[in-house]
Structure 1
Amino acid sequence: MAERSHECWERCYGIIQKRLPVLKWLPKYSLQWLQLDLVAGLTVGLTVVPQALAYAALAGLPVQYGLYSSFMGCFVYCLLGTSKDVTLGPTAIMSLLVSSYAFHDPSYAILLTFLSGCIQLAMGLLHLGFLLDFISYPVIKGFTSAAAVTIGFNQVKTLLGLQNIPRQFILQVYYTFCRIGETRVADAVLGLFCLTALTGLQQMKESIPKANRMEPLSVRISQLVVWTTATVRNALVVLFAGLVAYSFQVTGSQPFTLTGVTPQGLPSFQLPPFSKVTPNGTVSFGGMVQKMGAGLAVVPLMGLLETVAIAKAFASQNNYQIDPNQELLAMGFTNFLGSFISSFPVTGSFGRTAVNAQTGVCTPAGGLITGVLVLLSLAFLTSVFFYIPKAALAAVIICAVAPMFDARIFYTLWQVKRLDLVPLCVTFCFCFWEVQYGIIAGVMVSGILLLYPIARPRIKVLEHEQETLFIQPAGGLYFPAIEFLRDTVRKRTQSESRLCNIILDCTHVSSIDYTAVLGLSELLQELQHRKLSLVFIGLQTHVLQVFLAAGLEGFHHFPNLKDAEKSLEEELSHAGEALLDGSDSILPTSGIIQ
């Protein structure tokens, strides 16, 4: 009894550990891990604060909503996440989607967060993460590349200080060039300087050689200083731009477009808005959901795709395992709880996750430090955000999304498989119209390319002997393919008048459906009417059971080609004797394995 109770407890504890991964690493936590997690958390925190302000602006929301969205994921993922590297928070792609589906309205953005969290939680509990497997790599790259162009160009107007530019991409390009003469010189100069500085620091970071313990201490310290400076480049550039703007403010003139007043303090904990009061009346919950439309599918799915892809990449790089369904639960809880503190939808950030990994983070506890830093910024630094020029935030976004555009993928697919360029280009082009149309079109094209070989399988057709036609389908037989197979048999038998036997080799047929069986039954009857015999060979056990259960009239099958040929020869011999006796029956009647 005691042993059984102990086994039961171990089983229950294992289930709890699976749902609360923190219980796996917390008992082993050490002082050395704490030091590394502390450094990583501070570094990521200095990166996330300026990015949060910039991504809120990209989403069309007041900048404080970027900070509201940046700390819940840090705390939730520490408890529920299975990757030591991943950080959850605002990202460029998610901000673009929020801009499209929340209509620059915080109420819609918060409700979208709540509903996305519920959908992601349901998918995690039902283990539906496999649905992401139906979004092919060319579709993902087409979307991210188009998003990089869209987001980057969207910030050009802010960089130049232009006003009243439409959101739709084509119109945005047109009006940006039409109003180029209205450029605010100060914003343009500061923005270009910030772009240059960010690009230079990034190149500097990539050119730093790996630290070698054999090098002098001064060299290693200088490398560390340069690496740290380049890593927190966003914070340094935004701080510099803010100081420049503040110095102009002190002198009584302000040539830059500033972020403006940011409410100080932590967000209040309250229910998401399930209705919205407007000058024209109250918009109900149903009306808000209907207006968001496809966003309720696109936002959760793209959030899952981004997080799981990042988690898998860093797990493979750093040699540990993740649980995709647990990752869905972690992000679902983050969005669900985040909606109560006015967050917009968040997902895994590749850039900040890379910084986290490079600084040597050991556990998800590093996120706690990042979350605390964001909360301190909300509590004490929001008055400073007033002086941050919008052009500087635009430069941060442009540099963040630039690596997302992968021009090499077009050349790679041209070299590897040109057909994959079709979903890539379709997704890329349609995303400039509307993001959801690009993703849907890309998935549909990928689906067509996936289904085409099923509808038109490769079929080997050979004249095995003088009076025998050998037919071998290359894969499973499903209802879209049966007419193609019947037409192939019909055309060959009509062109070869001397044929009297058809052998259908099903060695490669691993599965079959009822419609295909019905089609083969009709083919069998048609051939019998024309005095031709059709036999099957190489049927796998489960496929054979389908045929036997269907009870096809005149169905004959053999384990291999040799047995089929032997039986057909005997039947032809019997048929010849029967003809001499005046009988016209030439169909096989023996050698049948039932």
Structure 2
Amino acid sequence: MPSARDVVIDYEETDYRYETQKFFRDLPIFIKEYIIALLPIATWIHRYNLQWLVRDLIAGITVGIVVVPQSMGYAKIAELPAEYGLYTAFVGLCVYCLFATSKDISIGPTAVMSLLVGQAVTKVAETHPEITAEEIAVAFSLITGSIAMFIGLVRLGILVDFIPGPAIAGFMTGSAITITIGQWPKLFGIKGINGQDSTYLIFGNFFKNLPKTKLDVAFGLTGLIFLYGCRYLCNYYTKKYPKYAMPLFFLSIMRNGVVVIFGTLIAFLINIGKETSPISILKDVPPGFQAMHVPNVSPTTVGAIAGSLPSGVIILILEHVAIAKSFGRINDYTINPNQEIIAIGFTNIWASFFGAYPSTGSFSRTAIKARSGVKTPIAGVFSGCVVILALYALTPAFYYIPDAILAAVVIHAVADLVSGPSYIKRLAAVSWWELLVFVAAVIVTFFTTVDYGIYVSLGLSVVILLFRIARPRLWALGRVPLSKATVVATTTTIGDEKAEIELDSQQQEQEYLYVPISHPSLGKLVEKLPRGVLMFRVDESMTYPNSGFVADRIISYCKEHTRRGGKVLSKGERAWNDDATAAIDAARASLPKIHALLLDFSAVNRLDSSGLQAIVDIQNTLNKYAGHHVEFHFINLSNNPAIRRSLIIAGFGTQPRINPGGDQGSSTGGSTHHVSSGPLEVLPVVPNSKDGPHHQREQLQQRSNRRQDDLESNYIHNSTKEKNDEYQVEKVEIRLPKDKYPFFHWSADAAVQTAMRTYISERVDGNHRDDDDNDTTSINSSVDKNEQNQ
């Protein structure tokens, strides 16, 4: 039959000398792992096989067919010639595979980054007309890539986690709307509208100049109808005929190339014999890499684009990491954010030597690549080969590509970036604050630029985060009695005789569920804790932004639900900062004096010096208010030894605590109670005074030391007994573990019972003669009920 025994828990102190020695001993291994992690391709390239090659080839060519027309359209958004989009696509596709931890991501020009570069080009042109758009694009790529590379190398990818999803979705949606409206004039062939103005101005000027619509609208609207119609029909027949899903998928993907080819052919035919084209066309695209050179970034250029660099780095990293994480979750693999940032940084540094502008992960092309069955990042190399083929062999055919067709391709691509009504509805149901971040990003981007949209959404997100930290949820807890375990008996046959065996011969003691007093479902069932005992749960770490707020709330609640110790003070006897009145104290006369405060720390993951000082301040204030020492019990510290160690340092493990300076007693109502208020400051900014009643402090220190020695001796005795028991029994059932320190508990029930017992023992010893008998009677009856159940 298994036996039961008590287990006393304690934690060893951290040996920093050992930890330092271990760190330096393992440092060579860390360096080796760090270097290997910089080139992830080395960990899987030796497993590459023919089947992977076939799948990568199909996926790479598929993406390449899509990236060529998209890149030329995005280059126009960036206020650059079309070939610069192809330069950007080639470098991103080919270089990324060396550093990738995502097989699906497709690097190249994107709509949002192109919009940001275009706005930067327009802004710089107003103040520095001597700086060309190409110089701005190259400098932008080199500097943002260098910053991203540094962030990845020093492993600061954690900064990405501080930017919430609604902020990303907000400026992506705002940018998609901005790009779509910015392409309307090209779609209708309307001249004279600045595509880099604020979106609301483009929107108004478009309808103002709508009568100036040209023949381009036939190409643009027909192209849009074909693109959306082809996708709709392919999706419809995929659901109807699932066995043809893959051929229909590739047919759907070809729609971008098909619309460009047919649009170009028709444009060529209508231009035969004409000196001036009736529609706006792409015209000359130089073959090869004409802009390849060492970047020449002047201080003037850097100063001109400095204002756009922060938002450029944010978009560069956020868009890429967000897409990589999303497809990693979908396809069941994990990416390394720091390594992805290194990859995107190196890619843009290298791209600047080819004359490219910044590139990052593309959502639409990544989705296509994943659906195509890609197996490794090498698929990007095959996409790069398609781009090279377009640069060297197809540039003469690019001459007649209608601008309206490219505008249709861009609009069709960015429309998927807009978060629809279903997303907004779900976001509103989850959090109105996050909906505010999303809406602010969209509105600011619409009326200003994408830079301001990013800054506003991120700034608002940080403010909301800080507010939540500074104003955590704090609950006063009550308890709901749970049904007791029943004694179960069964009849079994042993040999030829029947015997009744009692499975549980002991009835378990009463257990409780501890919930907020104002719980929406269980509020009617909540019972108050025993008189003089209060319990709180803090749903956030206690740190310097919120410690004062938490302390004020707890103190206020305790004063509202308990009475002041001793006599009611007159107006002249009250302290200058005591806002209570004689009438308030008289109304509270029927309330109990606070005996113990229980703090549930299950949700507290960190306790800094300010938080620790706040707990000390709470106890000091309540001690003075009650006229005696108020016990502080802490629940659920087992998961965080660091918090437990901090509380021990402040003296909460062996209460009452020692006050290193100042009087330990206070006179209340003619009777003197020894109030151990503890140290006024745990980590004082100004050192405590050396003057004071040293003899009282020494006595209390000796008393505390004796109590600590008793705890340690009991712990050693129990540990020795447990070791001996291990040799006597094979299987041991343990009771709920007990902490070495009597004020730290593993359950709320244990904390309440301990507080009840100390409450009774203090009154039996005669320490609190001025208390009413009802308190003791109430507590005693509660203890008796629990003991009768054992």
Q: TM-score range by the shorter chain?
A: 0.7 to 0.9
Which of 355, 365, 368 matches 2:378?
365
Q: Secondary structure at the match of 2:631?
A: strand
The AA in structure 1 aligned to 2:599 is C
The aligned counterpart of 1:427 is: 441
2:453 is aligned, of 430, 438, 444, to 438
State the Cα deviation string for residues 426-455 of structure 1 (Å, max 9, x = none). Answer: 222122222232222222333333333432
Amino acid corresponding to residue 756 of structure 2 in structure 1: E
Is 2:247 the partner of 1:200? no
**Map of 1:69 onto structure 2:** 88
1:571 pairs with one of 762, 767, 785: 762
Any residues of structure 2 matched to 1:154-233 within 5 Å, and which? 154-166=182-194, 167-184=197-214, 186-209=215-238, 226-233=248-255
Q: What residue is the counterpart of 2:431 in the other structure?
A: 417
Q: CA deviation at 1:210?
A: 7.4
Q: Which residue does the alignment assign to 2:317?
A: 304
Question: Given the alignment of the two structures, is residue 47 of structure 1 paired with residue 66 of structure 2, yes or no?
Answer: yes
User: 1:52, CA displacement in angstroms?
Assistant: 0.7
Aligned partners of 1:500 and 1:532 also within 8 Å? no
Residues 570 and 405 (structure 1), Cα distance of their counterparts in 2 relative to 1, 3 Å cut: same
TM-superposed CA distance for 1:413, in Å, is: 1.7
Structure 1 residues 136 and 15: alpha-carbon distance in aligned structure 2, compared to 1, 3 A threshold: closer
Instruction: Render the CA deviation track for 1:6-41: whole Å, top value 9, x for unaligned.
Output: xx9999987665332333333233333333322222
Q: Distance in 2 between matches of 1:89 and 1:479?
A: 44
Contact 2:311 2:455 survives alignment (8 Å):
no
Tell me the TM-score normalized by structure 1.
Answer: 0.85
Contact map agreement 2:69 2:257 (CA 8 A) in 1: yes
> How far apart are 1:239 and its partner, in Å?
1.6
Matched residue type, 1:295: S
**Matched residue, 1:592:** none
Name the SS for the 1:480 alignment partner: coil
Task: State the match for 1:264 in structure 2.
Answer: 287
Letter in 2 for 1:327: E
In the alignment, is residue 549 of structure 1 matched against residue 549 of structure 2?
Answer: no
For each residue in 1:361-418, what CA deviation from the matched residue of structure 2 results, as whole angstroms up to 9, or x when unmatched? Answer: 2322222222122122222322322211111110000000111112121111233334
The correspondence of residues 393-472 of structure 1 with structure 2, limited to 5 A, is 393-407=406-420, 408-432=422-446, 433-461=448-476, 464-472=529-537
Of the candidates 593, 596, 599, which is equivalent to residue 506 of structure 1?
A: 599
Q: State the Cα distance separating 1:112 from its structure 2 match.
A: 0.9
Identity of aligned residues (%): 32
Looking at structure 2, the residues matched to 501 and 150 of structure 1 have their Cα atoms a distance apart, in angstroms, of 62
For 2:283, the aligned partner's letter is G
Q: 1:164 to 1:324 in 2, by over 3 A?
A: same
Among candidates 227, 231, 235, match of residue 257 of structure 2: 235
Question: 8 Å contact 1:110–1:339 — kept in the other structure?
Answer: yes
Deviation at 1:489, TM superposition (A): 3.8
Structure 2 residue ranges without an equivalent (≥5): 1-26, 126-132, 478-527, 564-588, 652-656, 660-675, 679-741, 745-750, 772-790
Runs (5+) with no aligned partner, structure 1: 1-7, 276-284, 581-594
408-417 vs 519-528, which deviates more? 519-528
**Structure of higher CA gyration radius:** 2
Give the conservation status (yes or no) of the 8 Å contact 2:164–2:461: yes
Aligned equivalent of 2:328, options 315, 319, 328: 315
* Contact 2:620-2:677 within 8 A present in 1 as well: no
Q: What corresponds to 2:109 in structure 1?
A: 90
Distance 1:502 1:249, change over 3 A: farther
**For residues 478 and 12 of structure 1, what CA distance do their matches in structure 2 show?**
34
Query: Secondary structure at 1:430's aligned position in 2?
Result: helix
Q: Which has the higher helix share?
A: 1
- The alpha-carbon distance between structure 1 residues 33 and 513, as it changes in their structure 2 partners (threshold 3 A), is closer
Report what 1:136 is aligned to. Answer: 164
CA distance in 2, matches of 1:352, 1:459: 47
Q: Distance in 1 between matches of 2:77 and 2:106?
A: 20
Q: Match of 1:69, SS? A: helix
Partner residue, 1:527:
622
- What are the residue-to-residue correspondences of 1:144-155 with 2, within 5 Å? 144-155=172-183
In structure 2, relative to structure 1, the CA distance for the partners of 1:38 and 1:483 (3 Å cut) is: closer
- After TM superposition, give the deviation of residue 68 of structure 1 in Å: 1.1
CA contact (8 A) 1:158 1:394 kept: yes
- Matching residue's letter, 1:190: F
Paired residue total? 555
Pick 1 or 2: higher relative contact order, CA cutoff 8 A, min separation 6. 1
Task: Letter of the 2:234 partner, please give it.
Answer: K
Give the whole-Å Cα distance in 1 for the aligned partners of 2:328 and 2:550: 45
Instruction: Look up the match of 2:687.
Output: none
Equivalent residue of 1:343, what SS? Answer: coil
Shift of 1:506: 2.6
- In structure 2, the CA distance between the partners of 1:152 and 1:520, relative to structure 1 (3 Å rule), is same
The alignment's C-alpha RMSD in Å is 3.0
Residue 143 of structure 2 corresponds to residue 115 of structure 1: yes
